[in-house]
Amino acid sequence: MACPYARFIERDDETSSATAKLTLNGSVNNDALAEILSLTGYGQTSSVKPELKRLPSSDELVTYGNYLQLNRLLDSQVLLSAKHDQNKHPVHDEHLFIIIHQTFELWFKQILWEIDSLRAIFGNKSIDESHMFVSINRLQRCVQIWRLLCDQIIILETMTPLDFMEFRSYLSPASGFQSLQFRLVENKLGLTEKSRVLYNQTSYKNAFPSLHEQTELTSSLEEPTLLMLIERWLERTPGLEDSSFNFWERYKRAVAQYIEYLQSNAQDEPNPTAREAALEDVKKTADSFRSLIDEKFHQQLVARSERRMSHRALQGALMIMLYREQPRFQGPYQILSLLMDVDALITKWRYNHLILVQRQIGNKQGTGGSAGYSYLRSTCSDRYKVFIDLFNLASFLIPREFLPKLTTEMKMRLAVANVQPSSEDNAKEDGEELHRTSGKSANESGLIDKDAFHPVND
């Protein structure tokens, strides 16, 4: 990358360098531009020029149409009503029906692409702040795609039940349940077979008989899911077992003080009926906190599939939520929020689809043999939310005035960032001398202990 206002003038008999005859707006000013380039890291040490990637001259000229393969894409809408009708008259709305579902599949493909990249990032043992931006960006992209998919169903609602009835008979035994990519999205996010409702009293896998489909499903089940990787990442949250700040012990003491405060207020209620109701609320609140604090209680909920994450992972997520203003927790907090957004939007998409089906076919059986509306309604429950634990953590937040105060060491640890060098950076450092600015760094001057630099998941 070069300064946009600088250009190089090279002579055939000279070896060019980053500061050879630099011009600024047409005027030669080597000293000024050399200083600018050195400050931005593109001084004499930048000897590698970026390679311009282009197709070989022998290849076919790239056009909009052949790059996007529009001939194949736009010829893939085959209307069964036109193909099988005796008079070859297509049903007008079948074209919309095909387009909507094909675009669903294209977006599912993109979502899988993003999920796989996120699984690769969170599969690393160490995740630094440079990964946070990429992860947040890709999760935000998934969120926007799901919003778009929810709106696509609204477009399909412009088709009336009578319009759908004109070509629905051609679709049997096909069903939206047979979308392999949607099942892969569910699996790779972390939906387990135990959480699924049986489809026609059998496993969902039976809807995918081909070897290719079975291979894809098996692979998605055997590889670590995004939920598993997020769980491991949360288990490494700093502060859970820290010599100067043991979050969990401090949190339990803070909860006890909070419950005592609520009980004292309830007992001071002069009205007997109101006092009894307030004390009952305090008891329910205490039982709710106990379900998190008591690890055995938590394990029972996990066994009943009422919770998904480990006890330690929930501790890490809770700490991030309670101290989200700390610089090191701002990125992780956005990650947790976006995971809930994805889960909520998938539920919204399921519900929009449910209402569409009810309007189009009522309580009729689905073309694939399912119970139709009744089956789809069962998939809108919390059992299909992969990150349900993150939603429920709001039950365990405590007011700021009861929040344990961070120690000075913990504040420093959460106030600084660490970016792990990539393999490319290491290779570059081996071959080149790093450009350094004058003066000592914060680390050299002793303002920050080098041991305080840890990735957010150490």
Q: Is residue 300 part of a domain?
A: no
Element (H, E) at 174: none
Question: What is the C-alpha to C-alpha distance for residues 442 and 438, in angstroms, rounded to an integer?
Answer: 12
Spatial separation of the C-alpha atoms in residues 93 and 166, rounded to whole Å: 9
Q: What pTM was computed for the model? A: 0.80
Does the residue 458 lie in any domain? Answer: no
Please name which of 334, 296, 324, 310 lies closest in space to residue 131, comparing C-alpha atoms: 334
Strands laid side by side in the 23-24 sheet: 6-7, 23-24, 27-28
CB 127 within 8 A of CB 417: no
Please check whether residue 63 lies inside any domain of the structure.
Answer: no
What residues form DSSP beta bridges with 196?
Answer: none
- Which token pair is 264? 């004292």
Instruction: Let me know: does 181 contact 104? Beta carbons within 8 Å.
Output: no
Identify whether 272 is part of a domain: no
Count of domains forming the chain:
1
Within a domain: residue 265? no
Q: What is the pLDDT along the chain (458 residues), one digit of tens a residue?
A: 444 444 444 444 444 444 445 555 555 566 766 777 666 665 555 566 777 777 776 667 889 999 999 999 999 999 999 988 777 789 999 999 999 999 999 999 999 999 999 999 999 988 877 788 999 999 999 999 999 999 999 999 999 999 999 999 999 889 898 999 999 999 999 999 999 988 778 889 999 999 999 999 999 999 999 999 999 999 999 888 777 788 999 999 999 999 999 999 999 999 999 999 999 999 999 999 999 999 999 999 999 999 999 999 999 999 999 999 999 999 999 999 999 999 999 999 999 999 999 999 998 877 666 677 888 999 999 999 999 999 999 999 999 999 999 999 999 889 876 555 555 555 554 444 434 333 444 444 333 333 333 334 43
Residue 124 sits in a domain of what CATH number? 1.20.58.480
Q: Is residue 106 a part of any domain in this protein? A: yes
The answer to whether the Cα torsion of 374, 380, 383, 386 is positive or negative is: positive
Report yes or no on 223 lying in a domain: yes
| DSSP label at residue 143 | H
pLDDT (0 to 100) of residue 116: 98
Contacts within 8 Å (CB) and 24+ apart, 181-184: 181/105, 181/108, 181/109, 181/112, 182/108, 183/208, 183/217, 183/220, 184/108, 184/112, 184/216, 184/217, 184/220
- Tell me the residue range of the domain where 188 lies: 88-240+308-395
- Longest pairwise C-alpha distance within the chain: 99
Determine the distance from the C-alpha atom of residue 18 to the mean position of all C-alpha atoms in its chain, rounded to a whole number.
Answer: 41
In a domain, 231, yes or no: yes
